[in-house]
């Protein structure tokens, strides 16, 4: 399963914070943030997961996060 999210993550430190928090719940997932993209795209790839859980974790850290349709 792959999900992509539009965020307002601005820099590498913020991206590392988000990735670290997500990896606590999703240890074997591939999680990236594309800081070069205008939408600061967060990409989560792994076995079954709830997109709302990802949203809640990122929003809980103080960032904007919304699912992107592709």
In which residue are the tokens 């965020």 written? 7
41-45 and 2-7 as β-strands: parallel, antiparallel, unpaired? antiparallel
Say what the pTM is.
Answer: 0.95
Which of helix, strand or coil describes residue 17?
helix
Q: Tens digit of pLDDT per residue, the chain (70 long)?
A: 999 999 999 999 999 999 999 999 999 999 999 999 999 999 999 999 999 999 999 999 999 999 998 7
Which pLDDT value is given to residue 69? 87
Residue 14 is part of which domain span? 2-67
Buried b (16+ CB within 10 A) or exposed e, 57-68: bbeeeebebeee
CATH number of the domain encompassing residue 16? 3.30.70.100
Distance CA 5, CA 41 (A): 6
Tally of domains within the chain: 1
């Amino acid at each position: 399963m792959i999900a992509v999210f539009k965020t307002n993550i601005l820099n590498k430190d913020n991206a590392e914070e988000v990735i670290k928090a997500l990896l606590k719940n999703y240890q074997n997932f591939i999680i990236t943030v594309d800081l070069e993209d205008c939408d600061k795209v967060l990409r989560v790839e792994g076995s079954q997961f709830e997109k709302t859980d990802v949203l809640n974790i990122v929003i809980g850290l103080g960032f904007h996060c919304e699912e992107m349709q592709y």
